[in-house]
Structure 1
Amino acid sequence: MIVDCQPFWLHFGFVWPPSFNFFWFVKDGCGIVCATFTWILIIYAQFVVITVLLHPSPYTNHALFNGVLFEILSTLAMVSHFRAMFSDPGAVPRGNATPECMEKMNFKTDKILYKCPKCVSIKPERAHHCSICQRCIEKMDHHCPWVNNCVGERNLKYFVLFTFYICLMSCHVIYMSGFHFFSCISTRLSGSCFNFTPAITSFLMMMLFVESLLFGLFTCIMCISQMSAILNDETGIEQLKRDKTKYCRTSRVKNLKRVFGSKISFAWISPFHTSNATEISLDNNMYII
């Protein structure tokens, strides 16, 4: 059994369990396939948008503007996905529920602690055990196969931004598809609107439209759901269990600041900015029930 006596809040950045301390990656076959498929869909959208919708367009300025905008949105979505996938979601160290570890962590013997029997760890309040990650996750919302990771305290911002930018990308693609289709018909420039044969072009556009419609609807619903949970300071698991546990709730503004950043700024919508939860400083009372 691997024993890690360090408090979980000292595990910043990336962690690869169990032998490395600088990289986090969940070795789940289904999750790896789903996450890879997500990147394939984004790359496919980039290919079709550039080669089918924008490059043959007779409206140069319109194509240039939308091309730049789409690349910005897709880059932000991919960075958000990368950080959600490879960020420690708030994992509690395995095997720290031993007398030796508790003594090093300066726990008082008269305090009541909850210990997870599955990963043999001291379980903080509102933490849940993930059978796929095989760890207890602080404020775990759910395990998402599309990012091959749990969505928890430390990577919630990146997951929300990923759904947000995928939703914007999908809406943008639907607009560009409609504009390209109707502009080619109305101007009777159909011959100059194709880089490929009409059959191939129609197939590529149809696949892109269906992809954008399905994933746009899914990510929009997911983004709204996550934002509602953040505002109410309630995780997905707590909503499903209808957990009425009385814990200290803060205002909605403070809930947003805790996830996205201490100051209201454009950093809230930047996946390059590290959220407060990643840098959170806690004490041993978080383990006490």
Structure 2
Amino acid sequence: MIREDEGPSGQYYRDDFNDHPGRCSAGTTDEDGIWLNQNDGAGTIMCIMVWILLGYSCLTITLLAQTGGISVYQSFIYTILVTMALACHVKTTLSDPGSVPASAVPTEAQRKYDKLSMCSQCQTYKPPLSHHCRICNRCISKMDHHCPWMNNCVGAGNLKHFFLFLVYTWSCSVYCLVLLGWNYFFCASDDCEFNMVLTQLVRIMTLLCIGSFLFTSSMIMNVVYGFMTGVGTIDRLKKKATNTINDSMEEPLRMIDIFGIGPWYTWPFPVDAIFEDYDLVMGFSTPQRLLREQILRERQDEKLQQQQGVNIGSV
């Protein structure tokens, strides 16, 4: 079903038709109904490790709260941050990053240019800024990189979830280091001292938080740089290798092309973004979507002609 609607930037149309397959199979092909990369064993292990490490940190903080090392409210806040980070991790892993289907065709604006490329691996249209991932075995629209910690590519379809995961994980690291540092420097009674087991847990926790803080800080700066320049990690590395980084013609990414046109208070949550122009964000269209757009235009033209006829008749 397609219908007209009103958004913050004016009128747009919402396409509620489901082009996805109905099969309940997991994989990265067009026929799979659930997106899940099963071609990388190392990536699967690293993906599971994220849950183990975040779960370990949450358990350590909970034990500290039970022994009086920190307050229960501080433990509750940390648990919320971990929950949000894991929710964003799941969305990043199980979301289609922007795979280019076999039926992909250039948009109307792209047809005006002569340089249209095809993927030699997929034998399909290759949109601008897209790359073929050998692990996922798919072309990914606006592919930034393949992240083994997510066991998935990061592209136009899950960039929001990936960025939120980095922000929440960074927040967990900073908050935990602040709690442990405060306890270490300002502990003035026996109630806030750690026992032997907790001491070892906290030492490991401190090392993990420092490593996580450094890693997520560098990744956040890398992603934000991509937002500001419109150049992803792969394209940036290629331009640096050919010394053409200053010749980039890409435009900065708009926030609505990352977080969608929904209210701003939905941005911090791992919900799928609704794009103002899906084809513009993904860089391609499909014959099915083009046909539905044509039908919508014809309906709009009929309504306009009817309104003009009514106005002429009333005069």
User: What TM-score comes out, normalization by structure 1 length?
Assistant: 0.78
Of 84, 87, 92 in structure 1, the residue corresponding to residue 92 of structure 2 is 84
Of 123, 126, 139 in structure 1, the residue corresponding to residue 126 of structure 2 is 123
Contact 1:154 1:278 in 2 (8 A): no
Determine the C-alpha separation between the residues in 2 that align with 1:279 and 1:169. Answer: 34
2:228 is the counterpart of 1:231: yes
Determine the C-alpha separation between the residues in 1 that align with 2:79 and 2:32. Answer: 34
Moved more, 14-23 or 156-165: 14-23
Determine the C-alpha separation between the residues in 2 that align with 1:172 and 1:240. Answer: 33
- What does residue 54 of structure 1 align with? 65
Determine the C-alpha separation between the residues in 1 that align with 2:92 and 2:282. Answer: 26
- What does residue 217 of structure 1 align with? 214
Aligned-partner residue type, residue 81 of structure 2: L
- What does residue 162 of structure 1 align with? 165
Runs of at least 5 residues in structure 1 that lack an aligned partner in the other structure: 1-8
Distance 1:140 1:277, change over 3 A: farther
- What does residue 66 of structure 1 align with? 74
Distance 1:64 1:200, change over 3 A: closer
Determine the C-alpha separation between the residues in 2 that align with 1:285 and 1:187. Answer: 61
2:57 is the counterpart of 1:45: yes
Other structure's SS at 1:269 match: coil
Contact 1:115 1:122 in 2 (8 A): yes
Contact 1:127 1:138 in 2 (8 A): yes
Of 183, 205, 211 in structure 1, the residue corresponding to residue 202 of structure 2 is 205
> Aligned pair count?
256
Distance 1:17 1:148, change over 3 A: same
- Aligned-pair distance for 1:19? 7.0
Other structure's SS at 1:136 match: strand
- What does residue 190 of structure 2 align with? 188
Distance 1:15 1:258, change over 3 A: farther
Distance 1:228 1:12, change over 3 A: farther
2:178 is the counterpart of 1:175: yes
Distance 1:171 1:73, change over 3 A: same
Distance 1:91 1:284, change over 3 A: closer
- Aligned-pair distance for 1:257? 2.1
- What does residue 36 of structure 2 align with? 25
Aligned-partner residue type, residue 189 of structure 1: D
Moved more, 17-26 or 200-209: 17-26
Contact 1:164 1:223 in 2 (8 A): yes
Other structure's SS at 1:255 match: coil
Aligned-partner residue type, residue 223 of structure 1: I
Other structure's SS at 1:189 match: helix
Higher RCO, Cα 8 Å, sep 6+: 1
2:158 is the counterpart of 1:132: no
Other structure's SS at 2:153 match: strand
- Aligned-pair distance for 1:175? 1.3
Contact 1:141 1:236 in 2 (8 A): yes
Runs of at least 5 residues in structure 2 that lack an aligned partner in the other structure: 1-17, 286-315
Contact 2:173 2:209 in 1 (8 A): yes
Determine the C-alpha separation between the residues in 1 that align with 2:200 and 2:281. Answer: 57
Structure 1 moving runs of 4+ over 4 Å: 9-15, 243-248, 282-285
Other structure's SS at 1:66 match: helix
Aligned-partner residue type, residue 41 of structure 1: L
Determine the C-alpha separation between the residues in 2 that align with 1:208 and 1:284. Answer: 40
Determine the C-alpha separation between the residues in 1 that align with 2:159 and 2:282. Answer: 23
Distance 1:127 1:209, change over 3 A: same
Deviations 1:232-263 (A, max 9, x none): 211111111116676562xx5x6222101225
Determine the C-alpha separation between the residues in 2 that align with 1:247 and 1:286. Answer: 19
What RMSD, in angstroms, separates the aligned Cα atoms of the two structures? Answer: 3.2
Contact 2:68 2:191 in 1 (8 A): no
Aligned-partner residue type, residue 159 of structure 2: L
Deviations 1:60-113 (A, max 9, x none): xx612212211111111001100001100001124x5xxxx87xxxx98x9764
- What does residue 3 of structure 1 align with? none
Identical-pair percentage: 29
- Aligned-pair distance for 1:12? 9.4
